[in-house]
Amino acid sequence: MHVTSSFAAFNSSDELKPYQFDRRDVGAKDVQIDILYCGVCHSDIHMAHNDWGFTHYPIVPGHEIIGRVLSVGTDVTQFKAGDLVGVGCMVDSCRTCSPCQNHLEQHCEQGMVMTYGSPDPHGADAITQGGYSTQIVVDQHFVLRVSESLDIKAVAPLLCAGITVYSPLRQWGVKPGDKVGVIGLGGLGHMG
C-alpha cells in the first residue's frame, strides 16, 4: 500500500478538504505514477456535488492526470521509471467483451472502471480515487505516453475535454480544410 495525500469531497456542499488514503500495491501489469498536474473537468464538480446521484464520499476527483512513472510491475514493458505519462477518464474494463476487444473500452459491456467513483476491482479502497492526489497506480493498458516536448500542464485537459472533442472529429473523418461548427465555448468548445 502507498499512503497518498489528496483533496476529497466529503459531502455535496462543502469545499474539498485534505484526505489521506492507500493506493494499491503495484501489481505485475501496473504503473505507479507521481502526479504532476491534473485538469479540473466539469464532471469533477458534478461528482463532488452528487449532481448525478451516485457519488460515494469521500471522493477524490480528477481524470486529466499528467505525471512521471515512479515504478512499474514485472510484466510492464511499455513504460519505465521517469517516463512522462497521462491517465484519462478510465482505469480498467473487462478486456474480453466485444467493445473491449475492438479498442472501445469506454463501451465495455460490464461498464468501464472510471478513474474515480467506480467500484475498485482491485479492492484497495471501496471506490477508485482520482488525480487530485500525489500518486496513482494504473494498469499499463490505460496509461498514455506524453511527449517531453509539450507544455505538460496544458496537456492535462486533452485527456478528457480534448479527447471528447477529438472523438467526433475522428468519427466523421474531418480533415484540414473542412468546415465544422463548435457549439458553445465551455471546456470542450474552447479545446475544439
The residue ranges that bind Zn ion (CB under 5 A) are: 41, 43, 93-94, 97, 100, 108, 160
* Least distance from Zn ion to the Cβ atom of residue 71, Å: 27
Closer CB to Zn ion, residue 33 or residue 188?
A: 188
* Least distance from Zn ion to the Cβ atom of residue 176, Å: 27
Residue type, position 28, single letter: A
Written as nine digits, the cell of 157 is: 485537459
Closer CB to Zn ion, residue 94 or residue 152?
A: 94
Closer CB to Zn ion, residue 26 or residue 140?
A: 140
What sign has the CA pseudo-torsion 138, 139, 140, 143?
negative
* Least distance from Zn ion to the Cβ atom of residue 61, Å: 9
* Least distance from Zn ion to the Cβ atom of residue 92, Å: 10
Written as nine digits, the cell of 116 is: 474515480
Number of H helices and E strands in the chain, helices first, is 5, 9
DSSP 3-state assignment of 81? coil
User: Among candidates 16, 42, 34, 9, which has minimal Cα distance to 160?
Assistant: 42
